[in-house]
A and B are shown apart, each in its own frame.
Chain A
Amino acid sequence: MTQDIPGTTMFDGDQAQKGFALNRMCFSFNSAENRAAFLNDEDAYCRKFALSDAQRAAVKSRDVLRMIEAGGNVYYLAKLAGIFGLNVQDIGAQQTGTTVEEFKAKLVAAGR
């Protein structure tokens, strides 16, 4: 896995292989019925997609950095985050260890 750009995991062949089951589960969340099924019984839903132990633990923790570590691709993880009503500022704040307000302020500051 290429990690030479700080704070960045290239979603390459290694990550794609590692994350396949997790990303496939997140792909299923394009359907409202599947999102409801996940909320109804998260354990059963994760079992159906044969998540690895690390992926299951990462999803349970709601920790996006752990999900990326387990091979998750952010476009697919965003579909999972959406189930909990979290947008990309919310997950940006979580990943950078700031509040959402601080994260938004950092984005505004980048424009100055």
Chain B
Amino acid sequence: MAKIVGGVATTHVPSIGKAIADKKENDPYWQPFFRGFDYVHDWLARQKPDIAVVFYNDHGLNFFLDKLPTFAVGAAGEYRNQDEGWGIPVSRSIAGDPALSWHVINALVNDEFDITMCQDMLIDHAVTIPMTLMWPGEKWPVKIVPISINTVQHPLPSLKRCLALGRSVGRAIESYPQDLRVMVVGTGGLSHQLDGKRAGFINKEFDQLCMDKLSGEPDTLTRYTVHDVVAEAGAQGVEFLNWMAMRGALLGQVTELHRNYHIPISNTAAATVVLENGEGAERRAA
């Protein structure tokens, strides 16, 4: 049976892609962020996942505002990146696992999540940057199942719904008959705001509260509405929805193994966490 080994959440700011291309990882500005990945690399080397299920939000590469799914699951054999218009290098493609994707799709719809199915889906920096951060300069050793969550055009799904989505994905994976080692990834955040007179807004206290509750008490965060999250974490801080979905997929005893938090990277409070999915269950029926 497939096993979920744990999860990684990380910021996905586009300029990280530029910094990698320009080899600036050890510059004083970037080093506090990149050094947070040393632990992640060791953890990945120990865990050797075969699959990464990536919860992320598309920023106008695959989806425009004409047809914007709340939740979309990729079911392609290969996912391509393309020019996103803001000058970051185009990433190489990432392999998919269509059989696992369809298993997840069937399970989600059976669980009454009315998702969109994508047999052809471009992936943007919100997938490619975390992948490059986790496996820098090498061939990616995993195949991916990308799951896109709308964090762009309101109304957005609630934190509660994203946590439930993640739990459904977690149950789907644990019921998959192949012996695969699966990790889950949540990308984006934490607090930041790019637009309006409040541009540059960052809220360290709220970010820390979210990270403190994420591993052990994620349900307590569902009392925040999306509107609350915009108020507390900034207009783009709602990318925390991806973190909630990632956390939901971890159905075992969850322990935070690593946390790196640094302000600022670009306009963002940058954060990286590694969560272990231990034995002993918090498995839920719904």
Contact = CB atoms under 8 A, between A and B. Distances in A.
Interface in B193-221: 193-202, 204
A82 B87 contact: yes
Contacts of B154: 10-13
Contact of A106 (B82, B200, B262): B200
Interface string A3-37: 00111111111001000100110110111100100
B194 A107 contact: no
A31 B267 contact: no
B117 interface: no
Given A35-B85, A111-B262, A6 B198 contact: yes
A92 B82 contact: no
Interface residues of B, number: 39
A7 B204 CA distance: 19
Interface string B259-276: 000111011010000000
A86 to B, nearest CB: 10
A49 interface: no
B60 interface: yes
Contacts of A30: 60-61, 82-85
B195 A68 contact: yes
The range of chain A's interface size is 35 or more
DSSP majority for the A interface?
Answer: helix
> Which of A24, A27, A65 has the largest number of chain B CB atoms within 10 A?
A27
B197 A7 contact: yes
A87 interface: yes
Contact of B200 (A6, A23, A96): A96
A77 to B, nearest CB: 8
B196 A110 contact: no
A46 interface: no
A64 B66 CA distance: 22
A96 B197 contact: yes
A15 to B, nearest CB: 8
Contacts of B197: 6-7, 65, 95-96
A5 B59 contact: no
B196 A79 contact: no
A28 to B, nearest CB: 9
Interface string A26-64: 110111100100000000000000000000000000001
Contacts of A68: 195-196
Interface of A: 2, 5-13, 16, 20, 23-24, 26-27, 29-32, 35, 64-65, 68, 73-79, 81-82, 87-89, 91-92, 95-96, 103-104, 106-108, 110-111
Interface of B: 15, 59-61, 64-66, 82-87, 152-155, 193-202, 204, 227, 230-231, 235-236, 262-264, 266-267, 269
28 contacts: A6-B198, A7-B199, A10-B235, A20-B65, A26-B85, A30-B61, A30-B83, A30-B84, A35-B85, A73-B152, A73-B153, A74-B194, A74-B236, A75-B59, A75-B152, A79-B60, A82-B85, A82-B87, A88-B267, A89-B266, A89-B267, A92-B200, A95-B196, A96-B199, A96-B200, A107-B264, A107-B267, A110-B200
